[in-house]
Structure 1
Amino acid sequence: MNQVLVKVLYGYAGGVLLIGAVNAQAEAVVTDNVVSMVAQSQTFVPVTFGQVFKDGDIPRGATVTATLNDQPITLQVDSKAANPDGSLRHAVLTTMVPALPGHAKLHLTLSAGPTPTAPGPGKPVSLSQLLATNYNAKMAINIGGTNYTADARALLQAANNTSTCKPWDKHCNLWLSGPLVSEWVVNGPVTAADGTINPNLRIYFAVRAYAGGSSGAVPQVRTDVIVENTSAFTPQAQPQYTATLTSGDATYTSPALTQYAYTRWHQVLWWNKAQPKIYLQQDTQYIQASKAVSRYMPLKPDEKFLSSLRQSCAPLDHCDQTQAMGTTGAQAAIGPLPRWTSVYIVDPDVRAYNWMLANTDALGAYSIHYRDEQTGWPISIQKHPYVTIINWASASKLATQNSTKGAAYKADLLPGCTNNAVISKCTTAWYGTGNPYSWDNAHQPSEGYVSYMVTGDYYYMSELAFGASHNEIWSGEAYRGFTKGLIDDAHSQVRGKAWVLREMADGAWLLPDDHPLKAEFRADVENSLADWNTKYSNNPNANPLAIMDSGATYTVVNGQNKPTGEKGMAPWMHNFLTWSAGHAAELGFVGASEFRNWLAKFEIGLMTDWQANPSHGYCWLEASAYTAVVTDATGKNYLPSYSAVYAATFPSLVGLACNSPTMVTAMGVLERKPWQAGEMHGYAYSATGYPANLQIGVAAAADSGLPNAKAAWELFDSRSAKPSRTNAYNNYPNFAVVPRFFSH
């Protein structure tokens, strides 16, 4: 066998580090592309990115090797997460492209290779090497007439002097370490010339230094400057300033900013403007096949649409995120993945990639980032079991009691806002920050998940962790079981349960294995799934409709707006939860398949119940109904079957054969517009209509393997009215999810 051997190095505590050993005949795992973004040729181009792998593609005992246009190339692998069988799940990969012609696209093929029996030459890029240069990055701001600064070099020098830089150190976190690149994340307050420290703003410098060959020089340094007002238990403030960032010749000046409590922003600078002009285009079909994300329809966004996408957003701007997320109706952020991320997943055009990152950056403008100043990491409910946002008013009263319980609440109480020249409407009646951008867990987007997955950046990793932590601490402390992180009772809306489960599962699955909060997030997911399975999947007395008891139903009114006594529910919210449970099952969480299978009976039932009785069973054209009646007139007893739900919800359709000409005519009367055979209720041509919402639930149900599951999908896919024209999925693929077995 013809083998080409390249230098190898491995063995640091946070994960295996190596420079690739290439087998010329190794079977490819995935091929990405290194794309030049300029007409000029480039040499010695550093490329660092995140890569997710399918289970078993890089098995235990193997490593990742690489070729560039079929030629072996050196690769550094910083492993971040592994699967239970020891195979590699996620890593940050770095290579150095020797020559990149203008506008070239070079294939970077990743393969599994044998782990070397002995380490090769080469040492990790060190802090001493970096400090031997004149590198620096600084931030300068003026707050209320006082000048404050933060200095990356001084922070790095202090860490080097004390040898404190290691993975997850509070002051100097070692993020990457190897012969091609090392990255350190240091942090400190902004300080005035007289030594005065601003108590709210803290600056994080993620400093990535690339090796320059055998000379030991460090010619290229990337600094991600992160500005945070995130100290969870420090009294709230809203500093107003303009910031100037510098790194050698590279500079950035922000617009005038008001930084509300629990927000953050960041800006990347390359020392002396030595930024490579490249785009690492990933194979997003492989990402879908890895089950890290759902499978999507084969789609191609319009060129005009791609050309219109914003490529960046100003600091602390909400960008395309909904300013008040609690606003009802369709939002671009709602779905398994938000619009900007799903567009990237179906087509990894660089404009879609930049759009995704811009809107992930925009999440920094929302007050969802709570850092525990004692640990240096997002708040842990294991350490702060009494912390709560939604129940803050009650918690603040309990904190005044002179008792053991009162002391516990006081220790975990978040400081509320106070009215001043910047904000108003603060009150002790509820928790607030005065931030005009408001978050809502029931409408929240996926937070940083795919952005971290494909970039491997510390900033997006921490955004993912902040999002999971916020979902923990937002909930009522007793309802979540204090340290258990239970989702069901803590979130009244079914869509809230769905998106919180997604956020917790994503964080628990993708965050580095040694992240200080990963085990806690995983426990939250496992506790919640066990809770649901006890209540529903394994409970012979659970309701026969496979719907949630908690937060699922509401009062039904008649044409005169009078309560009928019945209770109704929103099928589309249930679709979200079925998908979310299916997503957790695909990520491998114990109990998730069991819960998804119980929920999936609902989607399968609404789609196929009519087959046993075409004129009285639940007709699939109404499976996408906005509401469905699910109890009798007492409001206490669930209806016994989907046929009974159909009769209570659509009495004028009962007795008409499903999808028959007479029923289609009756549908037209009910909907007050012309109808056609095979057309489902609820904006059938819209990419955000109720059939689109139903699609993700039916797709997840179809993958369950339950009786009639595949038939339910095939019937749904046969519908005559689908998203089209300006409302087509190609530019709005949030809900364009299909089963794993789907084929066109």
Structure 2
Amino acid sequence: MTHSPPSFHRRTALALGAAAFTRPGFAQAATALPCPSGPGEIVGLMLEGTGAPAGTVTVFGQAFPPGHVPRGAALRARDTNGRESPAQLDVFAVHADGSARLGVVSLAPPAIGKGQERGVMLMAGAGGSPAPLDIAAALSGRSAVLELASAGGQVWRLDLLAAFRSAPADQAWQSGPLAVQRRVAVAVPADSLAGVTSLRVVADVALRSDGTLWTEVWLRNDAAMRPGGGSASYGVRVLLDGREAMRTGLLHQWQYTGWGRLLAADHGKPAAEPPRPRHDTNYLADAGAVPRYSMSSGAVDRALGQLARQVAEGNWSAPLEARGITRAMPSTGGRADIGPVTQPQALWLGTGDQRAATVSIGQAEAAGSVPWHMWDPSVNGWLDVKKWPRLWVDSRGGPPPGGLMQNVSGDTGWTPDTAHQPDLSTVPFILTGRRAFLDELLAQSAWNIISLWPAPRGEGEANVVRGVQVRGAAWSMRQLDNAAWAAPRGDRTGDYLRGVAASNWAWIRAQIPEWTRRQGEAHGWIPGEYGTPGAIAPWQQDYFVSTAVLSARRGNADARAVLDWMENFIAGRFLSGDRGFNPHDGCAYNLAMWPENQPQSPFNTWARIGQETRARNMSNGNGWSTSDGDYGTLAIQSLTLLSEVTGTPRARAALSWIQNAGAPYTAPAQRAGSQFDIAPRDAAGGCRVPARGTR
């Protein structure tokens, strides 16, 4: 069948490839992403050439709104010259109607010159049964071996391809004509590691139609609740087609951590780098996958340059390195790794820049080194309170079932903390489709529950909001909601976290009548623990808004009800001057909200809140003395999100006020490049996502 060249609509977008690493001062080049216009067209993307031969398979993740890829539909791909390329879609998460929510896309495009770009349109086609990849032929003459050498010199070998052959085909991550990927998970024998029983090899092995062999090998020292767990010392070598693809020196790996690398070979030589995809991230935002960013300033270019230097100057390639993640997570300040996403991820989403992609993906790998990975081999999932209702992974939890069989070592160099935790994995997982990043997301999300003291959490319950810092509730709910949205059905931890996320949103919604009664005309703020007696931090409410908006945009009715309720406070703090509350205090560091010794009796009028805030010297007065930070930016973020989701005149009026009030660091150029500089829908440009059923 032949097709005439499509008349793709176009939009201006910001993109930058790997060439930017060697072209100082080159910020973002305006290019055109194709927009869907014809029947069956779903979303456009851009492929940046690497000089790889025609047919080199590129693999990436893609999110879809409900109904865009119906159950059983196939995927087609056509470039702006009208040429179709082989395409494969493996769906691992679906919407309620069975249509695709998240999947892994494989494309085999024509050759694209290094640094050149080519627009591609993804289209829905009739389902079929294309001839699958001939696995026997693809494996012929190939080899993939992992060697693990203990500190004593003993070598243990794992034949990855033999394990691949025996892995269940019906559990494959990819299975089609372009790529087949299966998981290999093997416990390292304790007698190879001086009796350590907690180390596992988890490898995702893939064969592709271009003849390349890919393996993402992770060493996960995370098995919990069994005798013999502890730190492990070893060196690793991986051989692909007889060629050494990776070698380490002797490593010391603490329990509850992991590290991994993605490796590839082409019949004994290094595999060509596939074309790099650049997503239509505006489409991803409309699908509820990510926040919306649009970045194009000198400040953004400087931030991207800093990311390039971070990779070039640091010990970037070493296993178990932090790669710019703050190890002491309780640390405060303007950190690049805290927010709805991290700053590198925001820059990646907002610009498509390869420098930001490199750091974001690198930090998703480095997330493995945080000691929040507790694997329960008995259930083939991460530790949960379904099996361990009293579990608290703090050393004060005592022996099992109250605590871990081996406590987290105090010498890891990491101090995980729910109130200051970054989300290092969701965006890289969505954009790359790498299964290991889903592991990271699920491990961290499950840890958010068992890291809480069971008294406020509830024994056998998983309430991550009640009685905790609101910023901790915001980021814990962010993790739970992202995991619930992304994980495949049937995954034990994913199903567990879906239930936990739903119960937490339902609990918050159920508190609204009582909270409203207590809070009165200033209602709309989430109660919690704060560092200053009798006060709340309004910027922590802004954190929670960013989480609630993401969940509401994914169709969560409870989150939307919570958001509608919060708007009264989030907008009202800038619109209640006629009620005795100073709008300058809307982004103050703290607000006086109840008598210091009566937390159950909050002040319930704007006038009283304003009066007490002034009396306790927390007020900005006519200036901004308590707002010297990102507090104004956070307010703009919340109101931008509210203006898009709820669309009320109050939200828009409050947004206009704070945007023009002159609060510190709220000018557009000062916010540029921040993970909190979320773009409004109409200002972000891009392709409009047609209503469901109009394609």
Q: Are 1:458 and 2:431 matched, yes or no?
A: no
- Aligned equivalent of 2:305: 307
Change over 3 Å in CA distance of 1:570–1:478 after alignment to 2: same
Q: Are 1:642 and 2:632 matched, yes or no?
A: no
After TM superposition, give the deviation of residue 555 of structure 1 in Å: 4.7
- Aligned equivalent of 2:351: 347
Larger deviation, residues 584-593 vs 52-61: 52-61
After TM superposition, give the deviation of residue 501 of structure 1 in Å: 0.4
Q: Are 1:268 and 2:262 matched, yes or no?
A: yes
Q: Secondary structure at the match of 2:68?
A: coil
After TM superposition, give the deviation of residue 361 of structure 1 in Å: 1.3
Q: Secondary structure at the match of 1:333?
A: coil
Change over 3 Å in CA distance of 1:554–1:206 after alignment to 2: closer
Distance in 2, matches of 1:61 and 1:152, equals 32
Change over 3 Å in CA distance of 1:256–1:492 after alignment to 2: same
Q: Are 1:543 and 2:533 matched, yes or no?
A: no
Q: Are 1:416 and 2:424 matched, yes or no?
A: no
TM-score (norm 1): 0.79
1:257 to 243, 251, 255: 251
> Do 1:284 and 1:347's aligned partners in 2 also have CA atoms closer than 8 Å?
no
1:241 to 226, 234, 239: 234
> Do 1:150 and 1:191's aligned partners in 2 also have CA atoms closer than 8 Å?
no
> Do 2:145 and 2:238's aligned partners in 1 also have CA atoms closer than 8 Å?
yes
Distance in 1, matches of 2:597 and 2:403, equals 41
- Aligned equivalent of 2:176: 178
Change over 3 Å in CA distance of 1:95–1:742 after alignment to 2: closer
Q: Are 1:667 and 2:622 matched, yes or no?
A: yes
Distance in 2, matches of 1:730 and 1:296, equals 10
2:660 to 704, 710, 718: 718
Q: Secondary structure at the match of 2:383?
A: coil
Distance in 1, matches of 2:656 and 2:190, equals 66
Q: Are 1:229 and 2:221 matched, yes or no?
A: yes
- Aligned equivalent of 1:296: 293
CA displacement 1:158-178 (0-9 Å, x = unmatched):
x16xxx4432xxxxxx21111
After TM superposition, give the deviation of residue 75 of structure 1 in Å: 0.8
After TM superposition, give the deviation of residue 99 of structure 1 in Å: 2.4
Q: Secondary structure at the match of 1:495?
A: helix
- Aligned equivalent of 2:627: 682
Q: Secondary structure at the match of 1:276?
A: coil
Q: Are 1:108 and 2:108 matched, yes or no?
A: no
Name the aligned partner's letter for residue 632 of structure 1.
P
Distance in 2, matches of 1:621 and 1:628, equals 11
After TM superposition, give the deviation of residue 552 of structure 1 in Å: 3.6
- Aligned equivalent of 2:20: none
- Aligned equivalent of 1:473: 450
1:36 to 49, 57, 62: 49
Q: How does 1:442-453 map to 2 (within 5 A)?
A: 442-453=419-430
> Do 1:368 and 1:467's aligned partners in 2 also have CA atoms closer than 8 Å?
yes
After TM superposition, give the deviation of residue 36 of structure 1 in Å: 1.8
Q: Secondary structure at the match of 1:270?
A: strand
Name the aligned partner's letter for residue 621 of structure 1.
H
- Aligned equivalent of 1:562: none
Distance in 2, matches of 1:726 and 1:548, equals 27
Distance in 2, matches of 1:468 and 1:634, equals 34
- Aligned equivalent of 2:39: 26
After TM superposition, give the deviation of residue 263 of structure 1 in Å: 0.5
- Aligned equivalent of 1:12: none
> Do 1:468 and 1:507's aligned partners in 2 also have CA atoms closer than 8 Å?
yes
CA displacement 1:501-524 (0-9 Å, x = unmatched):
000000000122332222221111
Change over 3 Å in CA distance of 1:24–1:508 after alignment to 2: closer
After TM superposition, give the deviation of residue 590 of structure 1 in Å: 3.1
CA displacement 1:42-85 (0-9 Å, x = unmatched):
23211111001133332456443211233112111101112223
After TM superposition, give the deviation of residue 473 of structure 1 in Å: 1.7
> Do 2:200 and 2:220's aligned partners in 1 also have CA atoms closer than 8 Å?
yes
Q: Are 1:524 and 2:492 matched, yes or no?
A: no
After TM superposition, give the deviation of residue 539 of structure 1 in Å: 5.8
Distance in 2, matches of 1:633 and 1:102, equals 64
Q: How does 1:190-589 map to 2 (within 5 A)?
A: 190-191=188-189, 198-212=196-210, 219-234=211-226, 235-248=228-241, 249-271=243-265, 272=268, 273-300=270-297, 302-309=300-307, 310-311=310-311, 312-390=316-394, 392-393=395-396, 395-396=397-398, 410-411=400-401, 413-417=403-407, 432-489=409-466, 492-537=468-513, 541-544=517-520, 545-546=522-523, 550-553=527-530, 555-556=532-533, 567-589=534-556
- Aligned equivalent of 1:16: none
> Do 1:125 and 1:180's aligned partners in 2 also have CA atoms closer than 8 Å?
no
Change over 3 Å in CA distance of 1:152–1:193 after alignment to 2: farther
Q: Secondary structure at the match of 1:55?
A: coil
1:143 to 151, 158, 163: 151
- Aligned equivalent of 1:678: none
After TM superposition, give the deviation of residue 104 of structure 1 in Å: 2.3
1:56 to 67, 76, 83: 67
Distance in 2, matches of 1:354 and 1:110, equals 25
Q: Are 1:600 and 2:567 matched, yes or no?
A: yes
| Percent pairwise identity | 22
Higher relative contact order (CA 8 A, sep 6+): 2
> Do 2:526 and 2:541's aligned partners in 1 also have CA atoms closer than 8 Å?
no
TM-score (norm 2): 0.84
> Do 2:546 and 2:638's aligned partners in 1 also have CA atoms closer than 8 Å?
yes
After TM superposition, give the deviation of residue 550 of structure 1 in Å: 4.7
Change over 3 Å in CA distance of 1:237–1:198 after alignment to 2: closer
- Aligned equivalent of 2:76: 65
> Do 1:125 and 1:178's aligned partners in 2 also have CA atoms closer than 8 Å?
no
Name the aligned partner's letter for residue 47 of structure 1.
T
> Do 1:236 and 1:433's aligned partners in 2 also have CA atoms closer than 8 Å?
no
After TM superposition, give the deviation of residue 350 of structure 1 in Å: 1.1
Change over 3 Å in CA distance of 1:712–1:549 after alignment to 2: closer
Distance in 2, matches of 1:125 and 1:646, equals 72
- Aligned equivalent of 1:623: 586
After TM superposition, give the deviation of residue 94 of structure 1 in Å: 0.6
For structure 1, which runs of at least 5 residues remain unmatched after alignment?
5-22, 168-173, 213-218, 400-409, 418-430, 557-566, 655-662, 672-680
Structural RMSD (CA): 3.1
- Aligned equivalent of 1:559: none
Q: Secondary structure at the match of 1:91?
A: strand
After TM superposition, give the deviation of residue 325 of structure 1 in Å: 0.4
After TM superposition, give the deviation of residue 180 of structure 1 in Å: 1.2
Q: Secondary structure at the match of 2:561?
A: helix
CA displacement 1:562-581 (0-9 Å, x = unmatched):
xxxxx111111111112211
Name the aligned partner's letter for residue 497 of structure 1.
A
After TM superposition, give the deviation of residue 609 of structure 1 in Å: 0.8
Distance in 2, matches of 1:51 and 1:186, equals 24
Distance in 2, matches of 1:641 and 1:493, equals 23
After TM superposition, give the deviation of residue 729 of structure 1 in Å: 2.9
After TM superposition, give the deviation of residue 595 of structure 1 in Å: 1.0
Change over 3 Å in CA distance of 1:492–1:547 after alignment to 2: farther
